[in-house]
């Protein structure tokens, strides 16, 4: 059973033509850099309690942020912009989530947004990935390698989540679908209290593969 106040959402950008999409590229590709304790003796990724942990970013990195087409005639820059799986956030966003467990912020270094527009944006580096989809209840189809191909709805296994310390499951990307980023109610509360703009939070029980395009 889900514990009190343990509500989860999928985070997306708001669908509005006023907010430009920001295409971003970071080197090294941090999302798939794992701590050595999550590798077996052959160097393959293993899970510990259904969870993986990414390394913190190195001191030297490159984060390039540009505007993606179509660009609004009068773009409005807000606190959260998303393009594919890259998420760029404002300094106000970073300040609001200072000390929040499970994320690391990396300041933009290159690209039109940083060098020409002189805007201050950051990369959200998710530190945790959790394998917690309920395959059967999600009506998911799986290929011969065990990877998720499609699913009709997203149902999480709260028995798995509740066995993971809360600070390690407040914000994470779904192991079964790395394009899906999940946040806890506490994350949403901080976002709302700070008066941030640009993100929308879809309750897990309302989410499916088409939600991102709605």
Can you give the chain as a three-state secondary structure string?
A: CCCCCCCEEEEEECCCCCCCEEEEEEECCHHHCECHHHECCCCCECCECCEEEECCCCCCCEEEEEEECCCCCCCCCCCEEEECCEEEEEHHHHHHCCCCCCEEEEECCECHHHHCCCCCEEEEEECEEECCECCCCCCCEECCCCCEEECCCCCECHHHHCCCCHHHCCEEEECCCCCCEEEEHHHHHHHHHCCCCCEEEEEHHHCCCCHHHC
- Model pTM score: 0.88
pLDDT in tens, the chain (214 residues): 344 357 999 999 998 889 999 999 988 877 666 667 777 788 777 787 888 888 888 889 999 999 998 889 999 999 999 988 889 999 999 999 999 999 999 999 999 999 999 999 999 999 999 999 998 888 888 776 666 778 888 899 999 999 999 999 999 999 888 788 999 999 999 999 999 999 999 999 888 766 655 5
Evaluate whether residue 2 is within a structural domain.
no
Number of domains comprising the chain: 1
Q: Which residue range forms the structural domain that includes residue 141? A: 8-213
Evaluate whether residue 3 is within a structural domain.
no
Evaluate whether residue 169 is within a structural domain.
yes
Evaluate whether residue 178 is within a structural domain.
yes
Evaluate whether residue 38 is within a structural domain.
yes
Q: What is the pLDDT of residue 38?
A: 73
Q: What is the pLDDT of residue 3?
A: 42
The total of other beta-carbon atoms located within 10 Å of residue 171's CB is 22
Evaluate whether residue 99 is within a structural domain.
yes
């Amino acid at each position: 059973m889900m514990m009190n106040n343990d509500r989860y959402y999928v985070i997306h950008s708001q669908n509005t033509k006023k907010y430009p999409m920001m295409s971003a590229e970071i080197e090294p590709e941090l999302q798939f850099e794992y701590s050595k304790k999550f590798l077996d003796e052959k160097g393959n990724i293993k899970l510990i309690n259904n969870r993986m942990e990414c390394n913190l970013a190195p001191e030297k990195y490159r984060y390039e942020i540009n505007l993606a087409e179509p660009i609004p005639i009068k773009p409005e820059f807000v606190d959260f912009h998303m393009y594919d799986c890259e998420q760029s956030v404002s300094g106000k966003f970073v300040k609001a989530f200072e000390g929040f467990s499970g994320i690391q912020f990396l300041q933009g270094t290159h690209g039109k947004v940083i060098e020409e527009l002189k805007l201050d944006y950051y990369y959200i580096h998710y530190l945790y990935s959790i394998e917690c989809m309920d395959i059967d209840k999600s009506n998911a189809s799986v290929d011969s390698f065990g990877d998720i191909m499609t699913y009709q709805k997203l149902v999480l296994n709260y028995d798995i989540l509740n066995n993971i310390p809360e600070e390690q499951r407040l914000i994470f990307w779904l192991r079964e679908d790395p394009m899906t980023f999940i946040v806890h109610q506490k994350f949403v509360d901080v976002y709302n209290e700070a008066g941030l703009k640009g993100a929308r939070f879809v309750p897990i029980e309302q989410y499916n593969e088409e939600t991102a395009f709605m």
